[in-house]
C-alpha cells in the first residue's frame, strides 16, 4: 500500500470510488501531480506504479474506541527520550514451522492499518494523526479463522531523529501490546515498516544503519516465535536492484544478530514487490541469493487486480486475472526452492473481482508447496467507506469478502 508525498501539509488528489492520494513530503514519486487536479488526470494507468495503492483517506474516520490499545506496557517500560505526542495510551531455503490453519495455506489474514497513517506529521499525535488497530476487530477476524495480521508502521515514529535511535517508548509500547494480543491468541503478527525503502524522505543507503534498526526491533520481540519481521514495504525506484537485495540481507542479519532465531523474515522486492512483475523487474536476478542461518526467509509479493495493478480501482481486468498474475512468480519460487506469500491483495465488490480473487487464492492453494499464505488489504478502524475495507462489521470488503477469505483458513 503506497503513500506518496509532495507537500509539507496534507494535500488530497481525489480519485473515484471514494479514494484519495495523501501527499506529504515523505516519499518521492515518479510522476508529477499537484493539489486540485481532477480525477480525469489519472484516468489512464500511471507508469511504474505497479502494486502501489493510493487509498489512504484524506481525513481519517475516527472512532472513539480506536485509540484504546494498552497503557500497561508503556508505563512498565524504562523512560526513553521521545518527541512523540503519543504517550497517553498505551542458496535454496527450506522453510519449516507450525500452523494454526487447517487448510493448505499456512496463513490467511488481513493487513491492519492505522499506525502508518498521517505520514506528513512526524512523530504525530496518537489518536489525531494516527491510531492502532482495534483488538476487538482482530478478535472478530480470528473468530472467522484468520491467523495472521500485518501491522504497518512508520520507521520515523519508532526510531525518531535517526534510523539507529533508541526506539520510542510510547509507540513501541502500543505496538507491543497489539502484537502480544495477537500472538497470545495463537495468531502471527507481521511487523511492517511501511516506508518503501526510505527514511525521512531519503532512500535508505546505509545497510549498517538498517541492520541496527532491525536489531533494535528484533531484540524487543525475540522471545515471541509468532512474530514475523517484514523488512520493508514495497521498495521502488531505488539506486539499484542490488541495493534492495543488500538491504534485505542487512535486515536478516540484524534480526539474527539480536538473538531472534526462530521467527520468519519476510523480504520484499523492488517495483512495489509485484508478483506479476517479479521475473521482469530484476527481482528474480538478485533476490534469490539471500541467506538466513535459520532458513526462514519468505518472499512477500503484492498483487492487485485492476488494470495497472495499483489497487486504486474496484474494477478487475478479468475474472481470471488473479491466477494469471501469480503464475510466473509461482514458477520462480518453485524453480529456486523458495517460499512466498501474497502480503497485499484486494478486489472490488462485484462478480468479476470476486471470481478473480477466488482464482488467485485457488492458485496459491494449488501451489501450496511454494505459497504459504494470503493477506487482504486492508483492515483498520480509520478507513471509513474505503472500497477495500475489511473492518468489521460494515467495511465494504468485510461484508463482501470475509467469508470467502476465511474459507481458506
pLDDT of residue 1: 59
Question: Grid coordinates representing 137?
Answer: 476487530
CB 120 within 8 A of CB 8: yes
Contacts of 128-132 spanning 24+ positions with Cβ under 8 A: 130/86, 130/154, 130/157, 131/60, 131/62, 131/66, 131/67, 131/380, 131/381, 131/382, 132/66, 132/67, 132/69, 132/174, 132/175, 132/178
Burial degree of 75 (CB within 10 A; 0-12, 13-18, 19+): exposed
Q: What is the pTM assigned to this prediction?
A: 0.82
Cα 247 to Cα 396: distance, rounded to the nearest angstrom: 36
pLDDT of residue 45: 28
Give the tens place of pLDDT for each residue, 55-78. Answer: 555 445 544 333 334 333 332 222
Q: So which residues are the catalytic ones?
A: 234, 344
Query: Of 211, 278, 269, nearest to 240 (Cα)?
Result: 269
What would the mean pLDDT of 132-158 be, rounded to a whole number? Answer: 99
High-pLDDT (> 90) share of the chain, %:
75
What would the mean pLDDT of 382-398 be, rounded to a whole number? Answer: 98
pLDDT of residue 60: 52
How many CA within 13 A on the CB side of residue 263?
33
Higher pLDDT, 372 or 78: 372
Q: Cell numbers 471509513 correspond to what residue?
A: 384
Cα 49 to Cα 210: distance, rounded to the nearest angstrom: 25
What would the mean pLDDT of 191-200 be, rounded to a whole number? Answer: 99
Give the tens place of pLDDT for each residue, 156-195. Answer: 999 999 999 999 999 999 999 999 999 999 999 999 999 9
pLDDT of residue 30: 29
CB 59 within 8 A of CB 11: no
Mean pLDDT in the chain?
83
Cα 337 to Cα 330: distance, rounded to the nearest angstrom: 11
- Examine the pLDDT at 370 and tell me if it is beyond 60: yes
pLDDT of residue 213: 99
- Examine the pLDDT at 228 and tell me if it is beyond 70: yes
Which of 47-51, 336-340, 402-406 is predicted with the least confidence, judged by mean pLDDT?
A: 47-51
pLDDT of residue 57: 54
DSSP state of 235: -
Cα 70 to Cα 61: distance, rounded to the nearest angstrom: 21
pLDDT of residue 113: 99
pLDDT of residue 409: 96
Cα 115 to Cα 141: distance, rounded to the nearest angstrom: 19
High-pLDDT (> 70) share of the chain, %:
75
pLDDT of residue 103: 82
Cα 248 to Cα 210: distance, rounded to the nearest angstrom: 9
Domain boundaries, the chain: 56-406
Helix (H) or strand (E) holding 378: strand 371-379
Residues 8-45: b if buried by 16+ CB within 10 A, e if exposed:
eebbebebebbbbbbbbebbebeeebeeeeeeeebeee
- Examine the pLDDT at 147 and tell me if it is beyond 70: yes
Query: Of 180, 379, 190, nearest to 300 (Cα)?
Result: 190
Query: Of 109, 93, 104, nearest to 146 (Cα)?
Result: 109
Fold of the domain spanning 56-406: TIM Barrel (3.20.20)
Contacts of 373 (CB under 8 A, 6+ apart): 101, 105, 106, 107, 108, 109, 148, 341, 342, 364
Give the tens place of pLDDT for each residue, 95-138. Answer: 333 445 678 999 999 999 999 999 999 999 999 999 999 999 99
Cα 297 to Cα 154: distance, rounded to the nearest angstrom: 22
Amino acid at each position: 500500500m503506497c503513500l506518496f508525498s509532495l507537500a509539507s501539509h496534507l494535500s488530497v488528489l481525489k480519485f473515484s470510488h471514494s479514494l484519495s492520494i495523501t501527499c506529504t513530503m515523505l516519499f518521492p514519486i515518479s510522476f508529477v501531480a499537484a493539489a486540485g487536479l481532477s480525477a480525469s488526470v489519472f484516468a489512464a494507468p500511471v507508469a511504474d506504479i505497479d502494486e502501489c495503492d493510493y487509498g489512504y483517506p484524506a481525513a481519517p474516520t475516527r472512532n472513539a474506541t480506536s485509540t484504546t490499545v494498552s497503557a500497561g506496557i508503556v508505563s512498565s517500560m524504562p523512560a526513553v527520550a521521545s518527541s512523540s505526542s503519543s504517550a497517553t495510551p498505551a542458496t535454496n531455503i527450506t522453510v519449516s514451522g507450525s500452523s494454526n490453519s487447517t487448510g493448505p495455506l499456512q496463513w490467511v489474514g488481513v493487513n491492519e492499518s492505522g499506525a502508518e497513517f498521517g505520514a506528513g506529521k512526524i512523530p504525530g499525535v496518537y489518536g489525531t494523526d494516527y491510531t492502532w488497530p482495534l483488538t476487538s476487530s482482530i478478535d472478530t477476524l480470528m473468530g472467522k479463522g484468520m491467523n495472521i495480521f500485518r501491522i504497518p508502521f512508520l520507521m520515523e515514529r519508532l526510531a525518531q531523529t535517526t534510523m539507529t535511535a533508541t526506539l520510542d517508548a510510547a509507540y513501541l509500547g502500543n505496538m507491543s501490546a497489539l502484537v502480544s494480543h495477537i500472538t497470545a491468541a495463537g495468531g502471527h503478527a507481521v511487523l511492517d515498516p511501511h516506508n518503501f525503502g526510505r527514511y525521512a524522505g531519503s532512500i535508505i543507503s546505509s545497510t549498517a544503519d538498517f541492520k541496527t534498526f532491525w536489531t533494535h526491533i528484533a531484540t524487543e520481540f525475540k522471545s515471541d516465535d509468532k512474530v514475523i519481521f517484514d523488512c520493508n514495504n514495497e521498495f521502488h525506484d531505488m539506486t539499484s536492484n542490488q541495493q534492495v537485495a543488500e538491504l534485505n540481507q542487512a535486515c536478516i542479519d540484524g534480526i539474527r544478530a539480536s538473538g531472534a532465531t526462530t521467527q520468519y523474515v519476510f523480504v520484499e522486492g523492488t517495483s512495489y514487490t509485484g508478483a506479476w512483475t517479479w521475473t521482469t523487474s530484476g527481482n528474480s536476478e538478485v533476490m534469490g541469493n539471500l541467506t538466513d542461518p535459520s532458513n526462514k526467509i519468505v518472499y512477500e509479493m503484492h498483487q492487485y487486480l485492476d488494470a495497472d495493478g495499483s489497487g486504486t480501482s474496484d474494477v478487475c481486468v478479468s475474472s481470471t486475472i488473479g491466477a494469471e498474475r501469480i503464475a510466473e512468480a509461482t514458477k520462480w519460487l518453485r524453480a529456486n526452492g523458495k517460499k512466498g506469500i501474497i502480503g497485499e491483495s484486494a478486489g472490488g465488490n462485484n462478480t468479476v473481482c470476486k471470481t478473480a480473487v477466488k482464482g488467485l487464492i485457488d492458485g496459491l492453494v494449488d501451489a501450496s508447496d511454494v505459497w504459504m499464505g494470503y493477506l487482504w488489504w486492508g483492515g483498520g478502524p480509520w478507513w471509513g467507506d474505503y472500497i477495500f475495507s475489511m473492518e468489521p462489521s460494515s467495511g465494504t470488503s468485510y461484508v463482501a469478502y470475509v467469508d470467502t477469505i476465511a474459507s481458506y483458513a
